Every structure is written in C-alpha cells, then in structure tokens.
C-alpha cells in the first residue's frame, strides 16, 4: 500500500539537495571545527559558509545565528537565556496556544515563582497584538519577556509580528528594542510557508528548525538580534560565541543551510501549491462526510499557513483512535502536535478556541508538503471515508 503522509508539520521529507550536502560533508573527512589543523579548519569553513548562506537567505547577519539541536532547544535557550540575562523582576507574557517547547519552559519558570500571563486567542486561533500590549501595560513589572508563536502548528493561524512590534514601540526594528522588553517568537512553522525574511526586523529572538523545511532533524537555529542579552544554558567551549557550546554537527548544519535556502526561495510557490491542495482536501472531505467542522482560520484568510487543515469530526469519535485507524488504512495525520502525542487530553490549542470538549477531542490535523500530490489528497479522502464507513 502506498502510504499518504499528511503530517508535514510534524516533519517533512529531506530535500535531495540537503541529503546531497549532508553526504558530501560526511564523506569529505571534516574534523572538529574547533581544531586548528587542516580537517578542523575545513569543518570551520563549512560552518562559516552555511552561516553565510542562511544569513543571506533570511536577511540576518552571520553573528545573529546560533546553531542548536532543534526548535525545542532554541525555544528553551531563548526563554531561559533571556530570563537569566534580564532583571530579576522580568515577567513572562506568552499565549495559550504555544507549542510544548514554549509551554513547558514557561511552566518551569512559573513553578519557580516567575509571574506568567497567557494571552488568549480569538475563535480562529489568532493572537491580537493589542491584547498582548494591554497585558504588558497592566503588568507592574518594568520588564518582560514576550514569547508568542509566529505560526501555530495545529491550526495554521499566524501572528502579525510586524503589528506587534509596532504596537510595542519596537517599530524601528534594528535600531533599538523598547527597553526592558525582549520579544521572542517560535517561527518553526512559518519558515518556508509564509515570508519570514523580516523576522529580526520585528523580534529580538526567533526560533527555527531545519527538519520542518526539508533539512535533517536535530538542527535548529536561534536568530538573535545583535545586542540582545542572552545567558548560555549549556556551559563548555566557546562555540556559537559561547552561547551554545558543544562540537558542531557540521554535516547536518551544511544540509540545513541548503534546505533553508531552498525553502526561502520557494516560499511563494509552496504557498500557492499547498493552499490549492488544502482547499481541495477541505472540499472533498466536507462533501463526502457529514458533520465536519473547520478549526482555526477560514481558508479564505490570506495570513493563514497554506498547508495546514484542522478539522473536527465529532461522529468519528476520539481523534487519537481515528489517527490509529487511519494509520492502519495508510493515511498519516495527527491529533495535536507530535510532541504531545503521548497525552490523553484533547489538544490545548483546539480547547483555546472555546469549542466544546467533543469538538476538541475529535480534532485532527492534516498538513501537506512539497511532495504531496492531488492524487494523494483523493486517496486520503477515500480511505477516510472507508475507515468511517461512508462511501465517498
């Protein structure tokens, strides 16, 4: 059976060009980039080149890129690092729909006594810059770390980061952030799907992950605007300007650079292609199955992620059971984010939309990628109908 992978937000296949870059680097006898001998210097040169390419693709300076082991580590470094480097009375403002890699570190801070405010989303899963600023202004603390996601992995809703940065008085971007405010965004799901070129014009810290754009898993980036205070969370060598010590994963970094370059170049084409596929998926699903509800922004919302569809099918029962049944039928979807898949609770993101428990419990995310075809969409819908006992 040819399987249909509709879970590209969890991970997407590696690009052939990234694989080639990975193998080339592995085969070329690169050493430890901190060593002074020839193989070490070649490894250093390979990392320098990767950094240069990523900088050019994302419109950031090379010294604004910190390589990490993934999106999870970048979020942890941003959150704990900003709090460590900031004043002791710094508040945290975040949202109710963050990924576990932000939710969990913020919970740790809260358990240590840090004041945390969680901003709600609207019924389509969007965060309002005005509400974030209101919460900031009603807080007595003179300084705050704001961590809000650029694009939601489950719903496809996005945040108006430019509007938020303006509303925070950080409008002139690079010139100077508003004093006492550090703005971090988890942009893991934005890259390659919507233009992400101006990220450091709007925020101080931005998290990215290579495996979401056709690079290898295990490589992340934390973009850090020059001058943003950040305490290292690992201690050891002087790699990554001392902010993230540890011998670099050179081959994976080279592959990540290739994937990121291509993802940025192809963003417009990706958006057009995947948005047509998602519209087709919704059309076929909603005409074949009764009682299907769209969660998150309407498909007409131009700011939404083009490749993501979240639906509730209350008649199909618990989403986690449905995911298993669909897996047996050769269709890969998810209930909530992959990182929360061990949990029995309904998705906190769908709950945050204000729907009833049954709708939250039956919410399934489908996400398409650059390898998805229209034929796969029809096959997936046919298999879903068979699984649910309905003829399509």
Residues labelled as active-site residues: 339
C-beta closer to ligand PLP: residue 124 or 339: 339
> Cβ(240)–Cβ(193) under 8 Å?
no
User: What residue ranges in the chain does DSSP mark as E strands?
Assistant: 4-5, 65-68, 91-95, 116-119, 144-147, 181-186, 205-209, 220-224, 293-295, 308-312, 331-332, 363-367
Q: Does 173 bind ligand PLP (CB under 6 A)?
A: no
Cα distance between residue 256 and residue 217, in whole Å: 9
By CB under 6 A, the residues from 114 to 153 that bind ligand PLP are 149, 153
Among 6, 18, 46, 188, binds ligand PLP (CB under 6 A): 188
SS3 158: strand
Q: Does 369 bind ligand PLP (CB under 6 A)?
A: no
| Chain residue whose CB lies nearest ligand PLP | 71
Residue spans of alpha helices (H) in 308-373 = 319-328, 348-352, 357-361
Question: Interacting stretch for ligand PLP, rule CB under 6 A, among 35-43, 67-75, 83-91, 284-292?
Answer: 67-75
Nearest partner of 319 among 301, 283, 295, judged by Cα? 295
- At 123, list the tokens: 């019924």
Among 249, 312, 337, 362, binds ligand PLP (CB under 6 A): 337
Q: Does 186 bind ligand PLP (CB under 6 A)?
A: yes
Whole-number minimum distance, CB 240 to ligand PLP, in Å? Answer: 17
> Cβ(260)–Cβ(54) under 8 Å?
yes
Among 220, 296, 346, 369, binds ligand PLP (CB under 6 A): 220
Angle between helices 319-328 and 374-387 (to 10 degrees): 110
Size of the site for ligand PLP (CB under 6 A): 16
Tokens 């390979």, located at residue: 46
Q: How many CB atoms lie within 10 A of CB 356?
A: 10
Cα distance between residue 132 and residue 135, in whole Å: 5
Residue 339 parent element (H or E) = none
By CB under 6 A, the residues from 284 to 323 that bind ligand PLP are none
Among 158, 189, 228, 367, binds ligand PLP (CB under 6 A): 189
Cα distance between residue 143 and residue 90, in whole Å: 5
Q: Does 96 bind ligand PLP (CB under 6 A)?
A: no
C-beta closer to ligand PLP: residue 172 or 341: 341
- At 26, list the tokens: 């592995």
SS3 94: strand
Question: Interacting stretch for ligand PLP, rule CB under 6 A, among 41-49, 78-86, 183-191, 278-286?
Answer: 183-191
> Cβ(185)–Cβ(207) under 8 Å?
yes
Among 44, 47, 60, 72, binds ligand PLP (CB under 6 A): 72
C-beta closer to ligand PLP: residue 42 or 365: 365
Whole-number minimum distance, CB 10 to ligand PLP, in Å? Answer: 6
Among 338, 378, 385, 392, binds ligand PLP (CB under 6 A): 338
C-beta closer to ligand PLP: residue 21 or 77: 77
Among 94, 95, 209, 308, binds ligand PLP (CB under 6 A): 209
Q: Does 101 bind ligand PLP (CB under 6 A)?
A: yes
Interacting residues with ligand PLP (CB under 6 A): 70-72, 99, 101, 149, 153, 186, 188-189, 209, 211, 220, 337-339
């Amino acid at each position: 059976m040819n399987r249909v992978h509709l879970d590209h937000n969890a991970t997407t296949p590696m690009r052939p060009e990234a694989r080639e870059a990975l193998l080339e680097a592995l085969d070329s006898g690169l050493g430890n980039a901190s060593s002074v001998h020839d193989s070490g210097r070649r490894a250093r040169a390979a990392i320098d080149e990767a950094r240069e390419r990523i900088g050019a693709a994302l419109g950031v300076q090379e010294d604004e890129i910190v390589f990490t082991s993934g999106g999870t580590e970048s979020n942890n470094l941003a959150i704990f690092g900003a709090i460590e480097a900031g004043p002791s009375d710094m508040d945290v403002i975040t949202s109710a729909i963050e990924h576990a890699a932000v939710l969990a570190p913020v919970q740790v801070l809260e358990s240590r006594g840090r004041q945390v405010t969680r901003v709600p989303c609207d019924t389509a899963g969007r965060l309002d810059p005005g509400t974030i600023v209101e919460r900031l202004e009603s807080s007595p603390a003179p300084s705050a770390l704001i961590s809000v996601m650029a694009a939601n992995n489950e719903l496809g809703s996005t945040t108006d980061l430019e509007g938020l940065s303006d509303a925070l008085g950080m409008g002139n971007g690079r010139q100077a952030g508003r004093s006492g405010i550090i703005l971090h965004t988890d942009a893991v799901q934005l890259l390659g799907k919507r233009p992400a070129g101006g990220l450091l014009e709007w925020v101080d810290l931005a998290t990215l992950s290579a495996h979401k754009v056709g690079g290898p898993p295990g490589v992340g980036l934390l973009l850090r605007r020059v001058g943003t205070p950040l305490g290292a969370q690992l201690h050891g060598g002087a790699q990554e300007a001392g902010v993230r010590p540890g011998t670099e994963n050179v081959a994976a970094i080279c592959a990540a650079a290739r994937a990121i370059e291509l993802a940025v170049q192809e963003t417009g084409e990706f958006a057009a292609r995947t948005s047509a596929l998602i519209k087709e998926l919704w059309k076929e699903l909603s005409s074949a199955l009764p009682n299907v509800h769209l969660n998150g922004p309407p498909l007409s919302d131009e700011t939404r992620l083009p490749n993501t569809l979240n639906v509730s099918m209350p008649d199909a029962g618990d989403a986690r059971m449905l995911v298993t049944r669909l897996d047996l039928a050769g269709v890969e979807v998810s209930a909530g984010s992959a990182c929360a898949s061990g949990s029995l609770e309904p998705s906190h993101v769908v709950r945050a939309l204000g729907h009833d428990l049954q709708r939250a419990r039956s919410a399934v995310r489908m996400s398409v990628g650059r390898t998805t075809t229209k034929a796969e969409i029809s096959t997936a819908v046919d298999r879903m109908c068979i699984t649910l006992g309905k003829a399509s």
